[in-house]
């Protein structure tokens, strides 16, 4: 661990020394004072800001609650018009923790109370009564500052289904322009990719034989090799692209917020915890907050935008009096709008983590467990900005069907050249092994988020019900057996003598396999849907993202997804915020 910290320190020193001439002192503005900016390369990624705030502007046009993936997008786009006065509120702190900006730093930021809210799910009887850690970002950039950096948009069909549910303007053809608008694609522009946007998307800077072997083996059983999962049809196997630039993380804070922090019409408040939204005649008029032990209220002239994520947004709606009336009455909360869908419809991707031992081929376990290996990894990053320190949470991706009756893929692989007993907080195994995870990306099981107190500083209950449907249990078993087929039955892997270390090849019965694999299953950190968009009685917002039954309040984040997208959810969340900002500006 000492050596691991040492080479991170050397990395930072190298970049800072290399670019020392670029250190600037930005003059005092009305809302950001005494800012010291360290710009690394041309990315502006290491942006260590120490700002003393002036008093809040007397009033604001728009108040954005949550400076996560969506909130940073909204702050950027809405403040482009100098006539709009914007307040961005973040309950977490600044993104100055160095591990945020090193791609592999998610091992240090997840489960760390400095940068993670460290939620835990309620015991889940569908998963052997397990309660699992549930990371959510607690810093500028939100979960985009601590996530696995994997850039996946989902399938064309995902968005066409949203449209078929009655949500105008949310089909694939409608949303694709917003993906392009957000993107700065390393490979250049095309029909499906954009350049010049705030969010940098890059190829991974690591390739390993074990990953190529899995790709070859998948091809043997009919899963083709692909090099782009973001054109609407993601069937195939290939390397992930990641939200990085020059080997450093490009979070929403880095891409959208850092370049515009000195706008005079933008105020940013960190470590400011929202108590509730206040209403007059069902019109959202102000936000009550806590900061530095004091409570205060801020008024909004035009709109309040809730972008606190799929856990935080329903929590704040409920503490503000919007939710299921019976539950809120039990907590002595005044009812503003009886909205039975708030907190319901919670969807996520559950990741099963089988482990396979191999011979005659390298994984990263032994290298990372070796002091010399750690130093080599550190030096590669210092001098080339490549190698394991640039890794996303997974390196190789695959999309496949659990059975031939499916029209589109319903399984996703995240293949990692390492193995461990526990994701986060556990050492790697001392033998050569890799982890080809598999997840059902079209789950039918749904959970919910409910407050237990009118005090929003008390964590809500997160009940997942991950494997509550028979369908999801069947798909889980099929996914695990498909992985077995790729690794244990392919010609490609025979020379590596694979052995199923976990859950164990002796387990053949589907239900027994799911139960055994559940002991090591984890979230992929994709909660969505708790303020779903639609027109039925369980919908919380309209297709313009306006909260039903009240005025001047929108929810713009992953919680509005009516159905979870088929893949990683950060890129879709940023798209939602881009489209939401356009709706507000064109209102």
Catalytic residues: 526
Q: Which two tokens stand for residue 290?
A: 């806590």
3-state helix, strand, coil in the chain (%, to 5): 30, 25, 45
Taking the alpha carbons of 570, 571, 576, 578 in that order, is the dihedral positive or negative?
positive
- Contact indicator for 73, 83 with CB cutoff of 8 Å: no
Taking the alpha carbons of 54, 59, 62, 63 in that order, is the dihedral positive or negative?
positive
Burial class (CB in 10 A: 0-12, 13-18, 19+), 295: exposed
Report d(CA 183, CA 255) in Å as an integer.
10
Q: Which two tokens stand for residue 92?
A: 């977490």
Angle formed by the axes of helices 570-585 and 172-182, nearest 10°:
100
> Which residues are CB-contacts of 222 (< 8 A; sequence separation ≥ 6)?
none
Q: CA distances (Å), 240 to each of 102, 486, 570, in order?
A: 17, 19, 14
Dihedral pair phi/psi, residue 307, rounded to 5°: -135, 45
Q: What is the CA radius of gyration of the chain?
A: 23
Q: Which two tokens stand for residue 272?
A: 């400011």
- Contact indicator for 318, 328 with CB cutoff of 8 Å: yes
Report d(CA 76, CA 572) in Å as an integer.
17
Nearest to 395 by CA among 572, 259, 209, 520: 209
**Paired sense of beta strands 522-523 and 350-352, if any:** antiparallel
Report d(CA 120, CA 371) in Å as an integer.
33
Taking the alpha carbons of 73, 77, 80, 83 in that order, is the dihedral positive or negative?
negative
544 C-beta neighbours (distance < 10 Å), count: 15
Q: Which parts of 44-193 fold into alpha helices (H)?
A: 69-78, 106-109, 156-164, 172-182
Three-state secondary structure call for residue 541: strand
Element (H, E) at 432: none
Nearest to 199 by CA among 39, 393, 43, 389: 43
Residue given tokens 């392009």 in the structure block = 180
Residue given tokens 């900061």 in the structure block = 291
Q: CA distances (Å), 111 to each of 69, 310, 373, in order?
A: 19, 18, 25
207 C-beta neighbours (distance < 10 Å), count: 12
Please state whether the peptide bond connecting residue 503 to the residue before it is cis, i.e. omega within 30 degrees of 0. yes
- Contact indicator for 365, 419 with CB cutoff of 8 Å: yes
Report d(CA 141, CA 159) in Å as an integer.
25
């Amino acid at each position: 661990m000492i050596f691991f910290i040492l080479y991170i320190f050397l990395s930072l020193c190298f970049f800072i020394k290399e670019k020392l001439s670029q250190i600037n002192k930005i003059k005092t503005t009305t809302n950001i004072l005494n800012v010291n900016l360290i710009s690394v390369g041309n990315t502006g990624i290491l942006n260590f800001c120490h700002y003393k705030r002036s008093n809040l502007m007397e009033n604001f046009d728009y108040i954005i609650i949550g400076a996560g993936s969506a909130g940073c997008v909204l702050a950027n786009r809405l403040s482009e018009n100098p006539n709009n006065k914007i307040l961005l509120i973040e309950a977490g702190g600044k993104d100055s923790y160095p591990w945020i900006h090193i791609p592999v730093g998610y091992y240090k930021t997840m489960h760390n109370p400095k940068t993670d809210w460290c939620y835990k799910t309620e015991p889940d009887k569908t998963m052997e009564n397990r309660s699992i850690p549930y990371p959510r970002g607690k810093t500028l950039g939100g979960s985009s500052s601590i996530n696995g950096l994997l850039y996946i948009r989902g399938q064309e069909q995902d968005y066409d289904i949203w449209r078929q549910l009655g949500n105008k303007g949310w089909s694939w053809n409608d949303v694709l322009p917003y993906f392009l608008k957000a993107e700065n694609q390393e490979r250049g522009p095309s029909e499906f990719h954009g350049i010049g946007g705030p969010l940098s998307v890059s190829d991974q800077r690591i390739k390993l034989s074990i990953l190529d072997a899995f790709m070859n083996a998948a091809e043997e059983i009919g899963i083709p090799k692909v090099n782009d999962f973001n054109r609407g049809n993601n069937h195939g196997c290939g390397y992930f692209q990641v939200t990085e630039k020059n080997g450093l993380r490009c979070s929403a804070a880095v891409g959208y917020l850092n370049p515009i922090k000195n706008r005079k019409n933008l105020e940013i408040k960190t470590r400011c915890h929202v108590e509730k939204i206040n209403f007059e005649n069902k019109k959202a008029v102000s936000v009550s907050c806590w900061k530095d032990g004091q409570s205060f209220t801020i008024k909004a002239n035009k709109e309040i935008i809730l972008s606190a994520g799929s856990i935080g947004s329903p929590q704040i709606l409920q503490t503000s009096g919007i939710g299921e009336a019976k539950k809120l009455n039990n907590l002595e909360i005044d009812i503003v709008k009886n909205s039975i869908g708030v907190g319901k419809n919670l969807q996520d991707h559950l990741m099963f983590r089988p482990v396979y031992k191999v011979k005659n081929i390298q994984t990263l376990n032994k290298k990372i467990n070796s002091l010399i290996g750690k130093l080599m990894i550190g030096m590669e990053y210092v001098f080339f900005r490549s190698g394991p320190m640039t890794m996303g949470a997974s390196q190789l991706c695959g999309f496949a069907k659990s059975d031939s009756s499916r029209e589109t893929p319903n399984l996703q692989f995240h293949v990692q050249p390492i193995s461990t007993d526990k994701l986060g907080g556990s050492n790697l195994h001392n033998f050569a092994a890799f982890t080809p995870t598999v997840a059902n990306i079209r789950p039918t099981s749904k959970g919910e988020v409910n407050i237990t107190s009118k005090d929003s500083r008390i964590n809500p209950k997160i009940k997942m019900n991950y494997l509550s449907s028979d369908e999801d249990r069947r798909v889980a078993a099929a996914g695990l057996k498909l992985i077995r087929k790729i690794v244990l039955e392919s010609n490609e892997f025979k020379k590596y003598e694979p052995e199923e270390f976990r859950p164990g090849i002796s387990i053949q019965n589907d239900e027994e396999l799911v139960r055994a694999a559940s002991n090591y299953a984890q979230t992929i950190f994709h909660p969505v849907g708790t303020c779903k968009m639609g027109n039925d009685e369980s919908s919380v917002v309209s297709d313009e993202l306006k909260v039903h039954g009240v005025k001047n309040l929108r929810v713009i984040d992953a919680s509005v997804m009516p159905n979870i997208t088929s893949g990683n959810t950060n890129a879709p969340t940023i798209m939602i915020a881009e489209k939401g900002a356009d709706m507000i500006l064109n209102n």
